[in-house]
Amino acid sequence: MWVITINICVLGLAQAAQKQTVNYDVYAGGFHVVDAKLDVDLKTKNRYDLALEAKTQGFLRNLAPWDGVFRSEGWYDPKHGKARPQKHESITVWKDEHEEKQYYYNKDGSFREYRVKDDENDGSPRPVDEALTDQTTDVLSATLEVMEHVAKEKGCQGTSEVFDGKRRFQMIFRQSKQVTLTSNAYNVYSGPALECTIEVKPVAGDWHKKPRGWMSIQEQGRERGTMPTIWFAAVAPGAPAVPVKIRVKTEYGTLFMHMTGYQGEQKTLKLEE
C-alpha cells in the first residue's frame, strides 16, 4: 500500500491570515489508489497546527481499507524558520483495528510524553529512552520547515531527527534542481518548482535487519538510481510552498502523487472534468 499524502493546517507562518487547500490523487501502477487533501491555514506568527489525512480508495480500498489522520501543533520561530512541535498525534484505522499515538514535547526541545491507545494499550504514558527522543521532531513539522524555506527561496536542503515511537532517524532533504512543470490530465499545477529528494537514515532504536515499510521502498528507489522525489512550489505569495508532485520508484512500478486541485485566497486551480 502506498500512502504519500498530506493534509496540513498551518498556523503562524505569515503576517496575515491565509488559507490554502490542496487536493491530491495518488497513483500506483497506473491505478488511482489514494485520495488526499492539504489545508494550509496561516493565523498567528508564532504558532502552527498541522493535520495530515489519507485514505485508500477504489479497488485498493477493497483489498486494504486504511485511513490515517496525523496532526502536529507547536511553536514557530519566523526569524530562524524553525517549527518546534508541542504535540503530534496519529490516528490510523486498518480494517477493524484502531490505533492512536500521541507525542508531547517541551518548548526547549526536550521530549515530555508518549501515549498509545489500541486493543492492548489504554492510552497511559509509556516509558521511552531519552536517547531516542531528546531534541527530536515529527515528520510534519520537519516538512513544514522545508516548505517555508522553499517559499523564501532558501532551498530545500536540511536534516531533522525524528522519533516515531520505536526508532530515531534522520529525515534528510536534498535539493536537486529548479524545474518548470506543465499541467496535464493528472496534475493541475503549472509553473516553477524545486525538485528535492528525501532520505530516511536510521540513528537508533528498534530497526529490522532487513528494510521494511518506507525503508524498503526507499532502498528499492536507490537501487534504481532515484531516491523518493518531491516537487515543491510556492503557489500563493507569502505562504509556505506545498508539494505539487511526488514520485517514488519501486520494484513493482512507479508511484506518483499529483495535485488535482488548489484553492487559496488569491488563486484557484482545478482539473477540468
pLDDT (tens digit per residue) in 56-104: 999 999 999 999 999 989 998 877 778 899 999 999 999 989 999 999 9
Distances, alpha carbon 214 to alpha carbons 4, 18, 218, in Å: 10, 33, 6
% of the chain with per-residue pLDDT over 90: 67
- State the pLDDT at residue 41: 74
- State the pLDDT at residue 1: 37
CB 238 within 8 A of CB 264: no
Average pLDDT over residues 127-135: 94
Average pLDDT over residues 174-194: 96
d(CA 84, CA 87): 9
- DSSP output for 37-105: EEEEEE--TTEEEEEEEEEE-HHHHHH--EEEEEEEEEEEETTTTEEEEEEEEEEEEETTEEEEEEEEE
Cell of 41: 491555514
Calculate the average pLDDT of the chain: 88
Give the predicted TM-score (pTM) of the model: 0.89
| Beta-carbon contacts of residue 189 (< 8 Å; ≥ 6 apart) | 181, 183, 233, 235, 244, 245, 259, 262, 269
pLDDT band at 16 (very low <50, low <70, confident <90, very high): very low
CB 219 within 8 A of CB 210: no
Q: Is the dihedral of CA 57, 200, 23, 16 positive or negative?
A: positive
> In degrees to the nearest 10, what's the CA dihedral of 264, 83, 15, 237?
-40
Nearest to 52 by CA among 174, 170, 136, 138: 138
CB 48 within 8 A of CB 10: yes
Q: What is the pLDDT of residues 193-245, one digit of tens each?
A: 999 999 999 999 989 888 888 889 899 999 998 999 999 999 988 888 999 99
Parse the chain into domains and list their residue ranges. 18-270
Please provide the distance, in angstroms rounded to a whole number, between the alpha carbons at the two ends of the chain. Answer: 27
pLDDT band at 5 (very low <50, low <70, confident <90, very high): very low
Pairwise pLDDT comparison (55 vs 237), residue with the higher score: 55
- State the pLDDT at residue 42: 65
**What 3-state DSSP class applies to 216?**
helix
The alpha carbon of 138 is separated from its chain's Cα centroid by a whole number of angstroms, namely 9
